[in-house]
Homo-oligomer: A and B are copies of this chain.
């Protein structure tokens, strides 16, 4: 009696989202000066299922990934999402590809021949493609004495991290996005600033730029014991949902 009831209840509960995550996978990404760069990505893939859908072949996610082996870029991302939707009979498909990108910027860190920047491409396909590019850039932070914002934490860190997310209006090299961030963060004196000041500078550089239809900036300052952060976002209020 109990078991029958339980079965009936269970039937009414619809799984809406299934996927695979933390797949370590070699990828080839576009490189401005060397054409392509081979690196190692962590890939997450999800689909939203229609109500009453019965079961999913998890192995299909990896089969799709394998079909695009060695061909990951902004164009194939659309095709991967399309194939996920079709083969898994899904209402929507999502993919997230996080990878270190190595590049010697003209700006700051000339010591390393190859400087690491952590990047992410986050794509979703329901009716239309939605694509967000994210890059993490180390920036110099100072003790805030140049500003009057009253931050009590200003003196506790020397290097901070800027995480910039953008939706692109047209193609932009990762290299150009990184140098735009480094140049904006370093103005005007090239000696860095507080997290809030850098947030405003980057917002100012991104909000009017023709390459971006949306942006978000988070500046984090890892100091002894905790991390302070400030963020700004625009022009729309919504950030990409990939939770």
Point out residues on A near B: beta carbons under 8 Å. Answer: 3, 6, 9-26, 37-40, 46, 54-60, 62, 66, 69, 100, 102, 109, 111-116, 138, 147-154, 156-159, 187-188, 196-197, 199-201, 203-205, 207-208, 223-234, 239, 243
Contact = CB atoms under 8 A, between A and B. Distances in A.
A115 B21 contact: no
Given A3-B188, A226-B62, A10 B204 contact: yes
A226 to B, nearest CB: 4
A207 B13 contact: yes
Nearest to A197: B10
Interface of A is mostly: mixed
Given A24-B116, A188-B6, A14 B232 contact: yes
A58 B26 contact: no
Given A6-B201, A9-B207, A12-B204, 15 more contacts: A6-B188, A9-B205, A13-B232, A18-B196, A18-B230, A20-B226, A21-B227, A22-B226, A24-B116, A55-B150, A109-B225, A112-B225, A115-B225, A138-B225, A158-B158
Nearest to A221: B58
A202 B170 CA distance: 45
Nearest to A2: B188
A224 B159 contact: yes
A58 B152 contact: yes
B113 A69 contact: yes
B243 A239 contact: yes
B69 A23 contact: no
A223 B58 CA distance: 12
4 nearest CB pairs, A to B: A55-B149, A59-B152, A13-B203, A158-B158
Contacts of A207: 9, 12-13
A114 B26 contact: yes
Q: In this complex, which of A16, A46, A154 has the most chain B Cβ atoms within 10 angstroms of its Cβ?
A: A16
Q: In this complex, which of A17, A153, A197, A224 has the most chain B Cβ atoms within 10 angstroms of its Cβ?
A: A224
A149 B239 CA distance: 34
A224 to B, nearest CB: 4
